[in-house]
Amino acid sequence: MIELDPVTRTAARPITFDVLKPAPENGTTRARLGHLQTPHGEVQTPVFMPVGTNATVKALDPEDLDEIGAQIILCNTYHLYLRPGHERIERLGGLHDFMSWRRPILTDSGGYQVVSLGEFRSVDDDGVTFRATHLDGSVHRFTPEHAIAVQQALGSDIAVVLDQPVPPHASSRREVAEAMVRTHAWAERCLTAHTRPDQALFGIIQGGLEEDLRAESTRVIASLPFDGICIGGLAGDESAAQRRAALDVCVPLLADDPRPRYLMGLGSPADLLDAVDAGIDMFDSVLPARVARNGTVWVPEGRLNLRNSRFLDDPAPIQEGCRCRACRSFSRAYLAHLLRADELLFYRLATCHNLTFVIDFMAAIRAAIADGTFPQLVRAQAGMRDNRAAEALDA
RNA sequence: GGGUAGGUUGAGCAGGUGGUGAGCUCCGCUGACUGUAGAUCAGCCGUCUUCGACUGUGGGGGUUCGAUUCCCUCCCUGCCCA
């Protein structure tokens, strides 16, 4: 049963996005406050989405995610297609039931694997052929239509088109242009293939670091009836300044566009702040969780590497006043011990902390936008560097 | 006391029967990580003046141009016998 929009008499969109507080007219910032309504609940933006590639945010369960305050998570189409299989998940009641996560889910299309599995795939105009090298080496074909079919079977709230990102520094202008044109063609094919009425579909802007290509891609993708606009190909090896320059091309062209803007793959606090300032509403990244598993935790002053011997006798929590389960109960010394002993609890606690840190950081950003102090927040954090915490400890 | 197998850089090993032992794995130290082939990866891990140099094969002595290697002796460890 498809609900009809009372005004347009067309099928209601699966999601709605309302800008609660637009960017100020005076141009000091493009940061804005938004509200996203999905079939599985609402999301306050700007938002950070933890990544749960294999239908789990590594080391956490849904109760942990609720406690952390995750509003929406990202899962991966390619990985779930390979294992356990999208049809199996569909038979088992869809991705939400399967993983027991009741809040919204956005699925990535497998487009990122075009880059990350660069050695194990080939791209042509019709799609991508992957070799599942981390499993059995079997060969799999992803076309735009297939990527949509898998995501419809999974039943995510938001699906994403198959695209072809390119690594910014390893690609010539011609390669960037070719991948962009292909991405545009695939975007249209995804729109045609997509039929699930309770699932939104986002398009993806590409164009590398070439200003004119970014602008062209923005215009093309924005001209299509997507429910949201992703900006892809940016959380790679480009500098913060290059990334900001690209955003400053894309976002102004979307100034009058009512749809949410999602910058794919960004996750460090400094990067998030800058991108919100540039006008981005949604983010995802493996960074906070991966970095946590590898021993680094984030604090307001920067980062702490719990592998460092200095923490073995440190009775303080990771971050004084932090509400996460690691900081509520445990010392840095205990966490440093768990890490050295390869104890599994470490991964859960460290991940809880970093995700709580990022999610609280986004909440602080929203609060600052709401009360008009966001530009001050940007200025206050302008010197934010990753090694400041270590310097503070040494001082 | 007799026999036997050993003693290599924090640990565990490899190698080496006259001509370069700094090789590996742990441990340890440090760094990286951004739409997850990542609870992973990289560098360091005897000393120093560190693109190199020096020292180092249980201790001492001997043979030799040259010894980790051959000889003598002592110490230590495991096992077997008494």
Active site residue A284: yes
Greater model confidence, A392 or A52: A52
From the Cβ of A290, is strand B under 7 Å away?
yes
- On the CB side of A59, how many CA atoms lie within 13 Å of its CA? 22
* pLDDT above 50: residue A272: yes
What is the torsional sign of CA A357, A72, A114, A180? negative
pTM: 0.93
* Residue A81 confidence (pLDDT): 97
CA distance A9 to A46: 30
Among A226, A209, A234, smallest CA distance to A260 is for A226
Q: What is the mean pLDDT of residues A166-170?
A: 86
Strand arrangement, sheet containing A139-142:
A121-124, A127-131, A139-142
Are A206 and A164 within 8 A, CB to CB?
Answer: yes
Contact assessment for residue A181 and residue A210, using Cβ atoms and an 8 Å cutoff? no
Whether residue A53 contacts residue A76, with contact meaning beta carbons closer than 8 Å, is answered with: yes
Nucleotides of B under 7 A from a protein CB: 27-41
Inform me whether the pLDDT recorded for A1 exceeds 70: no
**pLDDT above 70: residue A261:** yes
- Is the predicted pLDDT of residue A395 greater than 90, yes or no? no
Asked if the ipTM is above 0.90, the reply is yes
Q: What is the number of other CB atoms lying within 10 angstroms of the CB of residue A212?
A: 11
pLDDT tens for each residue of A226-237:
999 999 999 999
Q: Mind listing the pLDDT tens digit for each residue in A280-328?
A: 999 999 999 999 999 999 999 999 999 999 999 999 999 999 999 999 9
Single out the catalytic residue among A157, A274, A284, A314: A284
pLDDT tens for A328-346 read 999 999 999 999 999 999 9
* CB of A109 within 7 Å of some strand B atom: yes
The whole-number Å distance from A307's CA to B21's C1' is 33
Amino acid whose CA is nearest the C1' of B27: A340
Name the nearest CA neighbour of A203 among A155, A260, A284: A260
